[in-house]
């Protein structure tokens, strides 16, 4: 889950940067007045933004809407022939390539690391459980339960014989 959160934050940084940049380029044509003289020389540039429409919730929605659909590859033709619209279209192509290729590879790499960690932990758990089962069966009787009394009786006799021999050897010297 941590990997997914990291990836979402990672893509949101790209998405916000692209959305804000592109939307400001697309809508700047309606907000900037270029004033030229008869010879084609630039005389003045004015920014016409009234304070009420400078910030609205619709603006935030439009910015997010524009960027989110580009993640899914819906690249609509941008209306306008000015350099701002052309630059926004180039940014859209670059963003779609980054979002679909690089960020998808980042997501795959992050989850690959997670899968490797889970696999390593499961392998260690499997080793421990196998050791526990082998250890448990090594201490059990090879005979089924009614006949296991005979097996335990002979084990007890062997235990006594070994310890009696050790006791005799210790006190004989």
CA 9 to chain centre: 10
Residue with tokens 């004033």: 35
What whole-number distance in Å separates Cα of residue 131 and Cα of residue 123? Answer: 12
* Same domain membership, residue 93 and residue 16: yes
In DSSP terms, 47 is beta-bridged to 32
Residue 131 lies in a domain: no
- Domains in the chain: how many in total? 2
pLDDT tens across 96-151, in order? 787 778 778 887 888 888 899 999 999 999 999 999 999 999 888 888 888 889 99
Residue 76 lies in a domain: yes
* Same domain membership, residue 90 and residue 150: no
By the 8 A CB rule, do 39 and 94 touch?
no
Per-position DSSP letters for 27-65, written without gaps between them: HHHHHEEEEE-TTS-EEEEEE---HHHHS-HHHHHHHHH
Q: Which two tokens stand for residue 44?
A: 């003045």
Query: What pLDDT was estimated at residue 108?
Result: 86
pLDDT tens across 72-84, in order? 666 666 666 666 7
């Amino acid at each position: 889950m941590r990997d997914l959160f990291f990836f979402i934050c990672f893509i949101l940084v790209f998405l916000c940067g692209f959305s804000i940049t592109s939307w400001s380029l697309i809508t700047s044509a309606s907000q900037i007045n270029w004033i030229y003289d008869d010879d084609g020389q630039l005389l003045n540039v004015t920014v016409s933004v009234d304070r009420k429409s400078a910030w609205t919730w619709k603006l935030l929605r439009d910015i997010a809407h524009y960027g989110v659909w580009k993640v899914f590859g819906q690249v609509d033709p941008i209306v306008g022939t000015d350099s701002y619209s052309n630059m926004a279209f180039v940014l859209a192509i670059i963003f779609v390539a980054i979002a679909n290729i690089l960020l998808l590879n980042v997501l795959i790499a992050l989850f690959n690391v997670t899968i490797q960690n889970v696999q390593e932990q499961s392998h260690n758990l499997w080793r421990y459980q196998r050791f526990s089962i082998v250890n448990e069966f090594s201490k059990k009787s090879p005979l089924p339960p009614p006949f296991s009394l005979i097996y335990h009786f002979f084990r007890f006799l062997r235990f006594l014989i070994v310890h009696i021999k050790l006791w005799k050897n210790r006190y004989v010297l």
